[in-house]
Structure 1
Amino acid sequence: MKTIIGLEIHVQVSTATKLFCGCSTDYQDDAPNTHCCPVCLGLPGALPRLNKKAVEYGLRVAKALDMRVLEESEFARKNYFYPDLAKAYQITQHDKPLAVEGTVEIEDDEGHEKIIRITRVHLEEDPGRLVHVTGASKYSLVDYNRSGIPLLEIVTEPDMRSPQEARRFLNKLRTVLEYLGVFDGDREGGLRVDANISLEGSERVEVKNISSYKGVEKALTFEVTRQRNLLRRGLKVARETRHFMEGRGITTSARGKEEEHDYRYFPDPDLRPLRVAAWVAEIDLPELPTARKNRFMEQYGVSLNHARTLTGDPKLADFYEEVAHIDPALAATWVADTLLGELNYRDMGIAAVPPGHIAELLELLKAGTITDRAGVQVLREMLDACVEGRPCEKPATIVKREKLGRAAGDEFTSLVQAVISANPQAVEDYRSGKEGALNFLVGQVMKETRGRADPRELRRIVSESIKMGGV
């Protein structure tokens, strides 16, 4: 049974003020209902005034996704009642969106290039937020600080065939949005997804308000399993809206699926139609992820995998370019593999790492002053200091304090002899042709040297010592 997935992505664009009023969008650390005015509270007589920057950001996204901007787009009222929707309608674009017919290129599950079609991009306002309070008595509070935040809704065609493809698409789209500077990926609730999923021949189910990339994959994986199990038992899949419960990794039924006519759309009489197609030619786009990936391979000679990793986050790409002058290949390996792995382990972002410190570390590695193993120790010491709030020492200072400078192999001759004497069985195994025994002996020496010796040089010394009769 073929899986059919389409996504509706709601992106909070990073404007300073809301879509139809002058209230600040920087509300995350402030008290509830302190970033509100008669417009975003829907009070009688309050009139909306469109945010020009939000329109510009929408056009920037449309141009990056190679979309056709309509000659005339229009705002409409989407009517429904919900406690966090103060006006009892949402201002959105319906019949006449900002732009249509775009594409995003991803890899399918076999690693081949695949085009995901974008149906439309349109602007709308975010509703408020419900805060559910539990305890002796359960009730909900309404915070309208979010009400009126500009949203860009990006709707795809049902071109994805697995939860994994959906997650890859979202990762690619998020990267494009961050490169365009229209979206803050670290902002809570900055990107929310409604996922439409069906198995071929069955009804479509919508899973609402998924707030993480991993959550999308988990919710869709659960839905694929749930729907297949229903069909195998001879039951029908109900056309409905479901909620994803991230803590439990399941979806639950919320209500029957609404139809468009349930919302009674009509043009908003307080807002004039938009005619902004000519504006697109004036918008300059930055270097986008695919172009930057190709440039990294050509300019720096890095591998395809490293180029993909390094350009997957604009901050990481900028960081790499600050240190690539030391040695492009060495920098790619250490930034994309070692540094990124250590950051992920500590749940840290690249912004917390001084580029100058990594450049100095790369210089020590390139000059042979320290070994790779010692370099990892230095890096971990630097990052641990950041996590613990201690001053982030320079690599050379750590190397000197911890005595991690590379030592010549002959400094460890006595240590090699001690290890050989303590492991006669491993010596015999190596003499009988078992290469793994030599690896074991070198490892024992490396433990004692704390990474100061070059493993290849130690391997030579241990091998020669055994051949010379060392026991």
Structure 2
Amino acid sequence: MSAYETIIGLEVHVQLNTKTKIFCSCATSFGEEPNKNICPTCLGLPGALPVLNREVVKKAISFGTAINAKINQNSVFARKNYFYPDLPKAYQISQFEIPIVGRGEIEIEIEGKKKTIGVTRAHMEEDAGKNIHESQYSKVDLNRACTPLLEIVSEPDMRSSDEAIAYLKKLHSIVRFLGISDANMQEGSFRCDANVSIRPKGDSNLYTRVEIKNLNSFKFIQKAIEYEVERQIEAWEDGKYETKVVQETRLFDTAKGTTRSMRGKEEAADYRYFPDPDLLPVFIDEELMDQGSKIPEMPDEKRARYVKEFGIKESDAKVLTSELEMALYFENMLTLGASAKGAVTWLTTELLGRLKGENNLQNCGIKSETLATLVKRIDESKISGKSAKEILDVLVQNHGGDVDSLIDSMGLAQVNDEGAILTAIDAVISANADKVAEYKSGKEKLLGFFVGQVMKNSKGANPARVNELLKEKLK
């Protein structure tokens, strides 16, 4: 593969989280009874006219602002004509020549190296319904028809599947932090079409590209791209590139790990785009532009602030800003009084290290308030780090619980009473006069022995305070 260069461009469909559809008042809720959320407008019945949802425009502006893109104050909806059972109108309302979001960029990082990926455009459109194929029958659920989408088209700037995944994860993070989509890949709210081609290294030409359709898992996207690259290289080296690699749409078989032909790839002319006569051109007034351009703190900004404000490591800041839920969890711990250093350690290392498989931060049952309390009890020297780990094990096992109750029931409260610790120290010194003499003669490593004995006899003494008092006594 070192003799070839991979060219990858991605088209990502993001379902916007408006309460109603893009051109009608039907609900956009997921998992409803089939064909419940439909009306004459989203079914394309004669006489029913579309009316643009203002919130869709606002969310599109927010995305454009986040990627430093040009926002077109004037944009136009077009009809994209094609025939599918899940598209009752036999055309999709989309944008073609003048999209709402123009050129922008997204910065990714691979192995410490940063790279800028160009975004060609992002345009508003309606989703189609869903075909369900069962045995000898095919069913159509039109609940999803007319759901608002933002289609984000990248430049063919990615050169490996790793770069493609880094771009997708960054894009996923951006729309989640903006709050414009739940980007749930399992529910189809964030899905990707990958355009893949190859060329010999040093060659500047662009060769036949293949589109891999409807990928909704980072794992499968990476596998699909890697398989397709391997397939195209093999065809090139066998001298069969022109016959085996044709411009087409392919599907990825997740069970076999291979791509297969679905249909010939359409060009823009095949869709017969023309301005939709039922919709006026979109004009963004100053009020709407102002509303949409006021965006929250983005992942990169948040990461930089964490490093500067809390003095945490860059690598830890990356983990904390990798997901919106993680960042909110961390920030709430700080609001509740946990130290930044303790919050980072006990969230990113201790808690995440214990969550395996499907047990993640969202469903583990341990609230940020609970973990903040655990960190505060350590900071207050009420429990030791070792005891805190025992408590966290129970919290993970029980999917939550009360920290203070567990400290009491497990007998893990740390002894900070100076008088009690000094009594234990005196007893150990009296019982080990020979070792005291050795320590005073220069064998300072024996301090560990004395600490261990005091801890054993005092049952839960604060080890830091034991160290301090022992050193004073042994002088």
TM-score category of the 2 structures, normalised to the smaller one: 0.7 to 0.9
Question: SS at 1:99's partner residue?
Answer: coil
1:135-150 alignment runs, 5 A limit: 138-150=136-148
AA of the residue aligned to 2:329: F
Q: Which residue of 2 aligns with 1:99?
A: 101
1:364 and 2:377 equivalent? yes
1:185-223, Cα deviation, whole Å (9 max, x unpaired): 347111110000111254111000001222211211221
Instruction: Sort the Cα spacing of 1:267 and 1:381 in 2 relative to 1 into closer, same or farther, 3 A.
Output: same
RMSD across aligned C-alpha pairs, in angstroms?
2.9
1:371-403, Cα deviation, whole Å (9 max, x unpaired): 4343233223212222xxxxx321232233234
Shift of 1:15: 0.2
Contact 1:91–1:268, Cα closer than 8 Å, also in 2? yes
Shift of 1:366: 2.6
- In the alignment, the residues of structure 1 paired with residue 333 and residue 248 of structure 2 have an alpha-carbon distance, to the nearest angstrom, of 52
Q: Which residue of 2 aligns with 1:12?
A: 15
1:129-168 alignment runs, 5 A limit: 129-134=130-135, 138-168=136-166
AA of the residue aligned to 1:156: S
1:85 and 2:87 equivalent? yes
AA of the residue aligned to 1:20: F
Q: Which residue of 2 aligns with 1:377?
A: 390
Question: SS at 2:131's partner residue?
Answer: strand
1:289 and 2:299 equivalent? yes
- In the alignment, the residues of structure 1 paired with residue 59 and residue 295 of structure 2 have an alpha-carbon distance, to the nearest angstrom, of 11
- In the alignment, the residues of structure 1 paired with residue 67 and residue 314 of structure 2 have an alpha-carbon distance, to the nearest angstrom, of 23
Where do 4+ consecutive residues of structure 1 move more than 6 Å? 451-457
AA of the residue aligned to 1:189: G
1:121-162, Cα deviation, whole Å (9 max, x unpaired): 10000000011213xxx2211000000000000000001111
- In the alignment, the residues of structure 1 paired with residue 272 and residue 461 of structure 2 have an alpha-carbon distance, to the nearest angstrom, of 74
- In the alignment, the residues of structure 1 paired with residue 61 and residue 370 of structure 2 have an alpha-carbon distance, to the nearest angstrom, of 39
> How many correspondences in the alignment?
416
AA of the residue aligned to 1:335: L
1:325-336 alignment runs, 5 A limit: 325-336=337-348
- In the alignment, the residues of structure 2 paired with residue 295 and residue 232 of structure 1 have an alpha-carbon distance, to the nearest angstrom, of 50
1:346-386, Cα deviation, whole Å (9 max, x unpaired): 43333743222111111233344444343233223212222
Q: Give the TM-score of the pair, scaled to structure 1.
A: 0.82
Question: SS at 2:116's partner residue?
Answer: strand
1:317 and 2:355 equivalent? no
- In the alignment, the residues of structure 2 paired with residue 244 and residue 321 of structure 1 have an alpha-carbon distance, to the nearest angstrom, of 40
2:59 to 41, 57, 60: 57
Instruction: Sort the Cα spacing of 1:344 and 1:61 in 2 relative to 1 into closer, same or farther, 3 A.
Output: farther
Q: Which residue of 2 aligns with 1:395?
A: 403
1:4-43 alignment runs, 5 A limit: 4-26=7-29, 28-43=30-45
1:32-68, Cα deviation, whole Å (9 max, x unpaired): 0000000111111111111000111011111111111
Instruction: Sort the Cα spacing of 1:453 and 1:78 in 2 relative to 1 into closer, same or farther, 3 A.
Output: farther
Shift of 1:113: 1.0
Shift of 1:17: 0.2
Contact 2:18–2:28, Cα closer than 8 Å, also in 1? yes
Q: Which residue of 1 aligns with 2:119?
A: 118
Q: Which residue of 2 aligns with 1:204?
A: 209
AA of the residue aligned to 1:59: I
1:223 and 2:228 equivalent? yes
| Unmatched segments (≥5 aa) in structure 2 | 200-205, 416-420, 426-455, 466-475
Shift of 1:456: 11
AA of the residue aligned to 1:252: R
Q: Give the TM-score of the pair, scaled to structure 2.
A: 0.81
Instruction: Sort the Cα spacing of 1:455 and 1:215 in 2 relative to 1 into closer, same or farther, 3 A.
Output: farther
- In the alignment, the residues of structure 1 paired with residue 351 and residue 305 of structure 2 have an alpha-carbon distance, to the nearest angstrom, of 22
Question: SS at 1:397's partner residue?
Answer: helix
Q: Which residue of 1 aligns with 2:316?
A: 306
AA of the residue aligned to 1:289: P
AA of the residue aligned to 1:165: E
Instruction: Sort the Cα spacing of 1:397 and 1:280 in 2 relative to 1 into closer, same or farther, 3 A.
Output: same
Contact 1:63–1:280, Cα closer than 8 Å, also in 2? no
Instruction: Sort the Cα spacing of 1:77 and 1:453 in 2 relative to 1 into closer, same or farther, 3 A.
Output: farther
Q: Which residue of 1 aligns with 2:430?
A: none
Instruction: Sort the Cα spacing of 1:9 and 1:453 in 2 relative to 1 into closer, same or farther, 3 A.
Output: farther
- In the alignment, the residues of structure 1 paired with residue 166 and residue 305 of structure 2 have an alpha-carbon distance, to the nearest angstrom, of 22
